[in-house]
Structure 1
Amino acid sequence: MRMVLALASAWTVTACGTQEVTPPAVHIIPQPASITTGQGVFKLKSGMTIAADSSLERVADYLDQTLRNTSALQMERAEAGEAGNINLRLGLDHPSREAYTLTVDADGITIQGATPRGVQMGIATLRQLIPLDSRDSRIPYVTISDAPRFEWRGALLDVSRHFYTPEQVKRFLDLMARYKLNKFHWHLTDDQGWRIEIKQYPLLTERGAWRKLNSQDSTCLEMAAREENPDMLLPQELMRVVDGDTLYGGYYTQQEIRDIVAYAAERGIDVIPELDMPGHLMGAQQGYPWITCTGESSWGKSFSSPLCPGKDSALMFVKNVYSEVFSLFPYRYVHLGADEVEKTNWKQCPDCQARIKKYDLKDENGLQAWFVHDMERHFNANGKQLIGWDEIVEGGLSPTATITWWRDWAPTAVPTATAQGNQVILCPDFLLYLDFIEQPNDLRRIYETEPTTYRADWNLTPEQQRNIWGVQANIWCERIPSERRMQYQALPRLLALSEMGWSRPEVKSWEDFEQRFAVQVDYFDRHGINYRIPTLTGFNDLNVFVDTAIVEVKSLLPNITIRYTTDGTTPTAESAVYQEPLTVTESRTLQFRPFRPDGTAGETQKAEYRKEPLSAARTLPDEEEMETGIRMMYHEFKGRRCEEIADAKVVRRYTLDSITIPSRIHEWLGLIYSGWFEVPTDGVYTFALTSNDGSRLWIDDQLIIDNDGPHSEIRKTGQRALAKGWHEVRVEYFDMNNGGMVSLQWAPPGEALRTMTGFMH
């Protein structure tokens, strides 16, 4: 088994008058702008001193606390005017407020920042330089000069769908701080629960913070039973019985909010509250149903009934709510939400129609835009600036509004907003929604994504690129009921995000990140932080061979044990250990499963090995009349299985160079691609089919990849043994109106995957 692990340098040096020692290797995430290592170590010990500029006393307190909690080091404070073993200073001349330098030499450790926030970023780096073993506090001599690429490096935590206690939120903030994520987007309210105390409206939490178990809870409990996974259970401490009904929930008092905001500030993190409106507001309607158009809380065709923007009383309600919120959060940015609004009630509401007429609005979409602008005026009057989901672009943006772009299927929002000079935060759902189950290539895909060219058709000018404020990962918790499950969904992808946001392209390397990530896992293990073991590699979903197959399983992590079975059963802690490549001579299915040092099992991966002869080349039906490209049939389709597409009405025919979705079609659709491709030589060819939602690949009338059913973006791989010559290809694909995508890659024997082109039809 090939394991990837960076080894420390082999040379030894003498440092601080002590015996010869080997400096620990430097493995920092996110990768700093500049690192120069020296030949020596500084031994940090309890009883040493911290000296800080007078304006950095609170930062010094945080450093002291961190060293005590994570490294068992008891530090003292240097006398005023004296140097310490660790020195925290201001005065760095740099345009970024988060810039810092960190120097470790024989005299000690010095962190200098452009502002206190820069010193906090330097402390995050120092934390990763200190060995995890409390008996070993050797820090290598090093000089680091560093500053972030993007100002906004965020993470969203949804505490409405499932609730997280104040201590759990603080642990999440600790994780963010370690990797220099500096914006905590706190999704505090939604249909499933209201999580923030508002003193003027006590029923928001008395009723809105508690619910009977819903379909999301049932899904979690079903997964817990099916997968024997306790992380999918609802925490019992969040349950209570009222009048015989079992209720789930919780909320934060205003004092708890202030405490968490202060905790985040100590770690260099700004907190951005989101109370989503005018839609997603059912949590508020449990206690105050009169804020809707009908006076009742209900569901529309797609989403819950929204606030009634035609009622002055409803507008006053939400403004009063936000006025209390403003006093709790010192950061100047506040998130309004404003996504996924069900407007059916507005069409039938006399108050809404009167508002539309009064302000000469075009329709209900114009009414939503009016509401956003009205709330923005309230924000501005209270010294705040508005952020909203990218739907707010559709109603026109004020010069100071910021959008959070999440809809991969609404790409024009980014060039539109940036061209107008508005700031944009990128959190595309296909890439950075961490509640989606991690797919085999996701970690590398996040790491290697260039934010400013995420979509080639944006064609952003340099000025527009400067309006990309940063990036953010979102953790929506419909199916994440516990802290351990939340950590599992977030890690390791959150580390790739941190480097996307902080590090400049010229210092990034996937191979180097692999090594640095493997070292970070030791920190997770020691501190009881859950994480997903990255997908094992070295095999496909379907593996084809003609004579013999050699199975070489690979892992990013050096600390895991891989177990496997050959009888179709799920590997357990008693199954055979994979220690060397396996030889397969007959068709069979292997199942592999990684185990962490503490025995925690990762996900089982199935690999089918199929022995088959070469598929003979086929004769083109009418070579003289063949045309270049692959034929695509666009069907009017609203099903959930690929096999049903062919029976649906054909809307239009296309000829394409590759397996893509033409830009002119979107929403519900079913597509069938068919054509021919030429194989240059005999051999086993690999195919990779990626889609959101379902897809299937057929080669010479044989199903090679079954990626069917509704799902987020998933890539599956398969192989076929093909003789030199022409072969038939067929791809079926459907999208359920959620911003679909489909692509097909292939690789001749011994080559890397590339987009499949060169079709005939």
Structure 2
Amino acid sequence: MKAVIPHADARPSSPAGSLPGAGPWHVRAADPALEEVAETVRALLAPHLPDAAAGEAPRELLLGLDELTSAPPLGVSPDGAAQPVDEGYRLRVDTDGITCHGRTPTGVFRGATTALQLIATARVTGELPYQELADAPRYAWRGLMIDPARSFLTPDEVRRIIDLAALYKLNVLHMHLTDNEGWRIELPGTPALTAPGAEFYTAADYRALQEYAARRFVTVVPEIDLPGHCATLRAAVPGLPPAPAPAGLADRFPFVPPLDLTDEATRTAVTRILTEICTLTTGPFVHIGADEAFGAIPESFDASVRELRTLVRDLGKRPVAWQESSRAGIGPEDIAQYWVDVEMMDLPDTAEGLAARPELVAAGRTMEIISALKKFFAPTDDDLRRTVEGGGRVLLSPQSHLYLDRPYAPEFAPPEQAAEAARLGFDGYRPLGVRHTAEWDPAAYAIPDANVAGVEATVFAERFKGFEDVSVLLLPRLPSVAEAAWCGRAPEWAEYRARLAHHGRLWTDRDLPYFASTEVDWR
């Protein structure tokens, strides 16, 4: 099958027939090892079930284990295993209901999310055709990054995002916990990071979120973004010296000085912070940032990245970093998250080109600023090559398609969402439609299989606030990224949009606001 969004209107297989599209369902584990999975599936399914009529017998969603085996996926397993877990499953819809089988509980759960989508969208189509399918993922790491550092999300809101990710078979939640605008994780060793009145996750909150995610086979990866993006840390630990800066920079552009990890006091403060975050984190990965260290000379940046990697490894975790980290040297144990190059930034070359980009003009971009941006980001053009040649792993997050804080193109906004579409999204990106994201092909980068880590969408919060804004920016674009990560290719647009059209009901059931793009005939 190879699809994250199943074909709700798939033609019946043998025997011919269909189930009614509405009614009660009972989830049953055929094996004691699946009781916890069944409990989680019941919780995920609950928003999509109407109240049962008196005397109406429920249909059954049966979960079972068998010896089904699937081809191993490409990339890095989020649970740190040398060989990724088998997430393959087999699903059957027949007169008795739906049966999901897999070789592992993870695979059974992935099948159950397909069943859940079929049940929820069958309320739109009116029937659930009998069918059989087997499926397994192409990429082992399938992630979503959220940005509570800039726009705090409550623990309950994060749980709703974890549920959404799990429903579309994503298995990593990357939490961008720190930035210039905020520090959102409680670390008792440096209490000033989370001052009274600030919004943040307590240690207990963070542990509970990891436990909640694990029950949905999602791994939480925390990001402590260093050596740049460090204003909150500098405020909490005053007196840390700035990293050596390029000559003349301070007189031209304002910036927060990156940290200098060769400084003993800085290294001591950062060691204390990373020790606590590694101790709190149950998963095997910790993201160290390493992006946009504007205001540090290359030698200082490289030394800081190497020190950050060493600290995380010495603490028993595996570091992940943005692609700029490749400049500090990179090897087979390193994961570089690829997000940008100069062409991908889609910036004009002339004043006339700038005048034709009203979103950039409104954001205050000038040709001087654009020229400085291109110069600063010029080294990104070699980061992907450098990572592959060094034997590192590439986590694909290109801003061209997978940065879901991109504004929606106004021509696709329904009248009732025109103002919302104009307000949402990062003002440095060209507004585009849902089809643009859906046509992203993860195979287009010609990365050797041995150098693939996986795929991860991001939704940075520089230009919006709150859960509802996050939801509208994610939906309806996130499912296409999840499908590309699961299938390893872009779906055919006409066929995909027909499947996507049924999912507005699923999101409404879960009280998730979405952008009702006119590119899709919502049902």
Q: TM-score, normalised by structure 1?
A: 0.53
Question: How far off its partner does 1:302 sit?
Answer: 4.8
Name the residue aligned to 1:488: 472
1:55 aligns with 2:39: no
Q: 1:386 aligns with which of 319, 322, 338?
A: 319
Q: 1:447 aligns with which of 438, 445, 461?
A: 438
**Contact 1:131–1:139 (8 Å) recurs in 2:** no
Alignment RMSD (CA, Å): 2.9
1:41 aligns with 2:11: no
Name the residue aligned to 1:606: none
Name the residue aligned to 1:604: none
Question: How far off its partner does 1:371 sit?
Answer: 2.0
1:185 aligns with 2:174: yes
The CA distance in 2 between the partners of 1:198 and 1:384, in whole Å, is 18
Greater strand proportion: 1
1:421 aligns with 2:391: yes
The CA distance in 1 between the partners of 2:341 and 2:145, in whole Å, is 17
The CA distance in 2 between the partners of 1:371 and 1:27, in whole Å, is 42
Question: How far off its partner does 1:293 sit?
Answer: 3.7
Name the residue aligned to 1:369: 302
Residue correspondence of structure 1 range 592-671 to structure 2 within 5 A? none
Gaps of 5+ in 1: 1-25, 75-83, 211-248, 345-363, 455-459, 537-554, 560-761
**Contact 1:130–1:137 (8 Å) recurs in 2:** no
Q: 1:53 to 1:329 in 2, by over 3 A?
A: farther
1:109 aligns with 2:98: yes
- SS of residue paired to 1:308: coil
Point out the structure with max Rg over C-alpha: 1
The CA distance in 2 between the partners of 1:47 and 1:467, in whole Å, is 43
Q: 1:138 to 1:334 in 2, by over 3 A?
A: same
Question: How far off its partner does 1:257 sit?
Answer: 0.7
Letter matched to residue 422 of structure 1: G
**Contact 2:286–2:317 (8 Å) recurs in 1:** yes
Q: 2:233 aligns with which of 279, 284, 288?
A: 284
Name the residue aligned to 2:80: none
- SS of residue paired to 2:205: helix
Letter matched to residue 529 of structure 1: L
Name the residue aligned to 1:599: none
Greater helix proportion: 2
The CA distance in 2 between the partners of 1:285 and 1:277, in whole Å, is 11
The CA distance in 1 between the partners of 2:435 and 2:268, in whole Å, is 47
1:251 aligns with 2:200: yes
Residue correspondence of structure 1 range 395-544 to structure 2 within 5 A? 395-409=328-342, 410-439=380-409, 441-454=432-445, 460=446, 464-505=448-489, 508-534=491-517, 536=518
- SS of residue paired to 1:488: helix
Name the residue aligned to 1:18: none
Q: 1:70 aligns with which of 48, 63, 66?
A: 48
The CA distance in 2 between the partners of 1:532 and 1:137, in whole Å, is 24
Q: 1:269 aligns with which of 218, 224, 235?
A: 218
The CA distance in 2 between the partners of 1:498 and 1:170, in whole Å, is 18
Q: Deviations over 1:699-730 (max 9, x none)?
A: xxxxxxxxxxxxxxxxxxxxxxxxxxxxxxxx
1:126 aligns with 2:96: no
The CA distance in 1 between the partners of 2:182 and 2:293, in whole Å, is 17
Q: 1:319 to 1:30 in 2, by over 3 A?
A: farther
Letter matched to residue 479 of structure 2: L
- SS of residue paired to 2:239: helix
**Contact 1:190–1:276 (8 Å) recurs in 2:** yes
Higher RCO (CA-CA < 8 Å; seq separation 6+):
2
Q: Deviations over 1:329-381 (max 9, x none)?
A: 2221211001111345xxxxxxxxxxxxxxxxxxx422322222222222222
Residue correspondence of structure 1 range 299-378 to structure 2 within 5 A? 301-343=253-295, 364-378=297-311
Question: How far off its partner does 1:398 sit?
Answer: 3.2
Question: How far off its partner does 1:106 sit?
Answer: 2.9
Name the residue aligned to 1:30: 5
- SS of residue paired to 1:206: coil
Letter matched to residue 446 of structure 1: T
The CA distance in 2 between the partners of 1:194 and 1:504, in whole Å, is 35
* Count of residue correspondences: 433
Letter matched to residue 401 of structure 2: L
Name the residue aligned to 2:159: 170
Question: How far off its partner does 1:130 sit?
Answer: 0.6
Q: 1:150 to 1:331 in 2, by over 3 A?
A: same
Name the residue aligned to 1:556: 520
Question: How far off its partner does 1:394 sit?
Answer: 1.3
**Contact 2:172–2:220 (8 Å) recurs in 1:** yes
Letter matched to residue 444 of structure 2: T
Question: How far off its partner does 1:170 sit?
Answer: 1.0
The CA distance in 2 between the partners of 1:155 and 1:322, in whole Å, is 22
The CA distance in 1 between the partners of 2:460 and 2:171, in whole Å, is 19
**Contact 1:185–1:273 (8 Å) recurs in 2:** yes
The CA distance in 1 between the partners of 2:329 and 2:61, in whole Å, is 55
